[in-house]
Structure 1
C-alpha cells in the first residue's frame, strides 16, 4: 500500500485536502499529527502539498477504518452523519446525511459544525437562505432541514455541484427546497441572486474572501438579516471585523474553537 504522509491535521491543512483528492488519493486519514493519503501509484503533487513523504506499508482495509472512525457529530438541532451511520442521530435531533468525498464537508471540521450550530439557533421557518461556497452542500441542506423556505448553494468549483445535489437527494430535500448552482456573487449570472434579498446569508470560506465579499453579502441580505461567516483562522479575525464594520454590519459576535472562528452579524437597517 502506497501512503503519502503530510505533516499537519485536517484542521490545519483543510485547504490542501481537495488537492490530495484531485491528485488521485483513494482515501484520507488523520493520525499522529499527520494526514495520510492513500494512492494506487506514486504521482507528481502540486507544491502546496509537496512537504510530505512517500512510504510503502502493509495492505489494510482503509475504507473500513475510515467508516469506523468517522462518527456522527452533533450540531445544534441536527446530527451530521455519514450514510452508514444514518440511524445514529442523537435523540432529539434530526440526521443530516453527508457522503464524504471530494467536496470536503462532513461536519467533523469545526467550521462546518459551528456554522450548522449557528443556523440551528435561528428561526428559519419560511426564510430564504444563501450558502456561499456551498461545497458538499451541508449548510444549505441544513437550512432546508431546519425549516428554511428555500436555500440556494453557490460555488465556483463545478465539481462540487453534483455532489451537493446528491447529498440533498439523500436527505430527501427537493430542488424546490434547496438548489445548487455554479456561480459567483455580484456578476448577475444566477437569476436567483437577482430576486428579493435573502433572509440569511451563510459562508464557510476564508478571511480574505470574506473581506472581498462583504459588500456582496450586504447586497444580498435583507436589512437586519443575520450573516454567518466561518472558515476564519483566529489570527485573521481583525480582517473580517474591519470588513463588516466597513459595510455597516452590526451586532458582531465571535465564537472560537481551537484555531478557527465563527463570526455572526446583522446587516444594518436602512436609514
Structure 2
C-alpha cells in the first residue's frame, strides 16, 4: 500500500495543533522538520479537500503552505533514520539501532531498526508507553500489543519477563519489521501477525494490553480491549493529545476499567487503566 506525504510549511507554534487535527483526518505518522511538519497517510484514506478545509480553518491565524506527494512502498523514512540516535527512558531503557554500541548501564537494551515503521521511542507517545510499562509486572504475563509498528513495546514486554506476547499491525511491512526486531532482541515469545483487533481470538484473555494508536481507534476499540483483559489486568494507551484524555478515560470507565495513572509529554498523553 502506498503512502501520501503531506509537507506543511508553517510556524512552529502551530505544529502540535496541526498534528492533532491531521490525526483526526486519519494521518498516522508525523515528522517535524525545519520548515514545519511532514504527515503521512495511506493513499486510499487521503482526502485533499479535507486538508484544504483544515488549512483554511487556520488561514486567519497563520500562514500555512503545503505540498502533497505519493510515496511508493519503500523506506520513505530513510532520511530521518540516518539521524537516528539512541534514546533513554527513565534511566532503565535504552533504545538504539543495530549500528550503535551496547551501553551496559541500562537494564533493558532494545535494538530497533525501524525501516518503514514508526515507533522507535523518539516520539513522546512511544516513550511514555515504555515508561508506563516499567511500572508494571510483566513476569510470566500474557500481553497483547495493538498496532505494534516496529514491535518496540512488545520487545520491552518480553524483556521484562512476559511469557507470551501477541502483536499485530495492519501494514505488511510493519509486521515484517516487528518480527525482525523481535528476532534482533532474542524475543521468541513475541508473535506478530497482520490484521486488526477483529482477528484476535475473542476467547483469549490477556494480563496486559498495550495500545499506542490514535484517539478514534481507541474510542472504538477500548470495549474490545476490556473484554480481552483478565480481571485485574491492565490497559496502557497513548497516541492522543491531552485534550482528548477525558474522552478516552470516560470510554474506559464505561467499559468497566478504573484509571490508575496518567502521563503527559508536550501535550501528548498516556493513560493506564485496570479492570
Which of the five TM-score ranges fits, normalised by the shorter chain?
0.7 to 0.9
Q: Deviations over 1:138-169 (max 9, x none)?
A: 11111111111111102223331111101111
Q: How far, CA to CA, are the matches of 2:153 and 2:93 in structure 1? A: 11
Instruction: Please give the TM-score of this superposition, normalised by the length of structure 2.
Output: 0.74
The change in CA–CA distance for 1:194 and 1:116 in structure 2 (over 3 A counts) is same
The one-character-per-residue Cα deviations of 1:90-119 (angstroms, maximum 9, x if unpaired) are: 613321111122211111001011101111
Structure 2 alignment gaps of length 5 or more: 40-45, 53-64, 69-76
How far apart are the structure 2 equivalents of 1:119 and 1:168? 17
Alpha-carbon deviations, 1:164-198, whole Å to 9, x = none? 10111111111xx100012222x3x344x533x10
CA contact (8 A) 2:78 2:115 kept: no
Quote how far apart the aligned CAs of 1:211 are.
1.2
Match of 1:78 in 2: 93
Give the aligned partner of residue 171 of structure 2: 157
Residue in 2 aligned with 1:57?
none
Question: Structure 1 244/256 Cα, relative in aligned 2: closer, same or farther at 3 Å?
Answer: same
Whether the 8 Å contact between 1:72 and 1:88 is mirrored in structure 2 is: no
Kept in 2: contact 1:153–1:180 (CA 8 A): yes
Q: 1:95 to 1:46 in 2, by over 3 A?
A: farther
- Partner of residue 42, structure 1: none
Q: How many residues align?
A: 236
The Cα offsets for residues 240-267 of structure 1, whole Å up to 9 and x where unpaired, read as 0110111121134221001200001101
Partner of 1:148: 162
TM-score under structure 1 normalisation?
A: 0.75
Q: Where does residue 194 of structure 1 map in the other structure?
A: 203
CA separation of 1:181 and 1:63: change in aligned 2, threshold 3 A = closer
Q: Which residue of 1 aligns with 2:225?
A: 217
Tell me how large the CA RMSD over aligned residues is: 3.2
Question: 28-37 or 217-226, which moves further after superposition?
Answer: 28-37
Q: Contact 2:138–2:161 (CA<8 Å) still a contact in 1? A: yes
Task: Report SS of the residue matched to 2:232.
Answer: coil
Are 1:178 and 2:190 an aligned pair? yes
Most deviating of 255-264 and 156-165:
156-165
1:6–1:49 CA contact under 8 A, matched in 2: no
Partner residue, 2:241:
233
Which residue is equivalent to 1:6?
8
1:110 aligns with 2:119: no
Are 2:114 and 2:177, in contact at CA under 8 Å, matched by a contact in 1?
no
User: Secondary structure in 1 aligned to 2:230?
Assistant: coil
